[in-house]
Amino acid sequence: MLGLGRALLREDDVEISPAVDALRAALGATSLVVEQVDDGGVRTSFGSGNVHESHEEHTLPVGLGDEWVGTVSAVFATDPAPLERWALEATADLFGGWIRRGRVGAALARTVEERDRFVATVSHEIRTPLAAVLGLADELRHRFDLLESSEVRELIGLIADQSMEISDIVEDLLALATTDRVGFRVRAEPTRLDGLVRAAIASVPTTARTGLVMRRIESTMAMCDPLRTRQIVRNLVVNAHRHGGDRVFIDVVSSAGADVVVTVADSGNRISDDIQATMFEPYAGTHRTDGTLSSLGLGLTVSRRLARSMGGDLVYRWDGESRFEVHLPGAEPLDCG
């Protein structure tokens, strides 16, 4: 029993089977097998022995609370004594503790990995616009008297755009943290979606509006949170500008059902299947002009979460162009009379 305990504490899979065999010999069992079943149903066994058809098998479940995670099975030539039964129960408890420690360790490792990815994401997203703000501000400070007024206005405009980008990143980070909380709510209200989309486009940095075409804009009403919807549209337009083709198209239409659909499409290539499978996950990455991963990002994650919190969704579709479609519940026009 002590040998098995030491092997489990060291989490040495190589030593566990010999320790189980040693315990089998000490108990006088003809067979002793400890089996673990993971979340995917994969079974891992430790121990061995010989089973005779006339021998009786005794199996004890290994549980974590109400969850069954394994078994301890022993075969004895004769009826086991109380001490031998106790040893089997203690083995099941030892093995359950080992599985619990493994799960806690794996969860901790995932937490550390997510923290590291979070720090890397924030550093990656903020470094570029912040460096631009610092560089442009330094240019103004040292060469202000030498610059033409048009050049000063241009530099101030660039600083404003880059500062807006940093502000948007912070807003996405706050939204990501907020939507993770239990009880997160949006303030949905009947909203003129065509006007909201135009306002959202106007708030996007000037550089991100290059090549943008308001293609099909219907007068529509949606039940949505205006602030959160503007955030979604802004994220998708910036995402298309950075990682899509050189032309970006905006559509706002009523769907065949009761939904209203805002589409941000671009002329870039189709996003590859492996990236599509993970691109809405936190820190998983954004995309491409050639279908490959290009950078980390949060915009798609935040946008889908916000859309779903308003009873809608955000999906990707390829239809000769890359299309990110925001589906929102439709609403009746407000009665102004």
**pLDDT tens digits, 140-157:** 999 999 989 999 998 998
116-133 mean pLDDT: 79
Residue 126 buriedness (CB in 10 A; 0-12 / 13-18 / 19+):
middle
What was the pLDDT predicted at 248?
94
3-state secondary structure of 276: helix
What backbone phi and psi angles, to 5 degrees, belong to 325? -110, 125
Give me the residue spans of the domains in the chain: 2-108, 119-179, 189-329
**pLDDT tens digits, 200-228:** 898 887 877 888 999 999 999 999 999 89
**pLDDT tens digits, 67-99:** 878 888 888 777 777 887 887 788 788 777 777
What backbone phi and psi angles, to 5 degrees, belong to 103? -70, -40
CA dist 146 and 37 (Å) reads 73
Q: Selecting from 3.40.190.10, 3.40.50.1980, 2.40.50.110, 3.30.450.40, what CATH number does the domain 2-108 have?
A: 3.30.450.40
What was the pLDDT predicted at 293?
38
What was the pLDDT predicted at 192?
92
CA dist 330 and 261 (Å) reads 9
Which pLDDT band holds residue 1 (cuts at 50, 70, 90)?
very low
State the virtual CA torsion across 248, 251, 257, 260 in degrees, nearest 10. Answer: 100
CA dist 305 and 293 (Å) reads 21
Residues in the chain, overall count: 337
What was the pLDDT predicted at 289?
45
Which pLDDT band holds residue 3 (cuts at 50, 70, 90)?
very low
What was the pLDDT predicted at 55?
66
235-263 mean pLDDT: 88
Q: Is domain 119-179 classified as CATH 1.10.287.130?
A: yes
- Residue carrying structure tokens 């993770």: 180
Residue 151 buriedness (CB in 10 A; 0-12 / 13-18 / 19+):
middle
**pLDDT tens digits, 277-336:** 888 887 665 444 444 334 446 788 889 999 999 999 999 999 999 999 999 999 886 554
Residue 64, pLDDT above cutoff 70: yes
Q: Are 226 and 196 in contact (CB under 8 A)?
A: yes
Which residue did the predictor score with more confidence, 149 or 46?
Answer: 149
Q: Do domains 2-108 and 119-179 have the same CATH topology?
A: no
Q: 189-329 falls under which CATH superfamily? A: Histidine kinase-like ATPase, C-terminal domain (3.30.565.10)
Range list of H helices, 144-206: 149-179, 193-202
Q: Are 237 and 244 in contact (CB under 8 A)?
A: no
247-259 mean pLDDT: 86
Residue 9, pLDDT above cutoff 90: no
Which residue did the predictor score with more confidence, 283 or 274?
Answer: 274
Other Cβ atoms within 10 Å of 216 Cβ, number: 11
3-state secondary structure of 192: strand
CA dist 94 and 2 (Å) reads 10
pTM of the model: 0.59
CA dist 227 and 196 (Å) reads 9
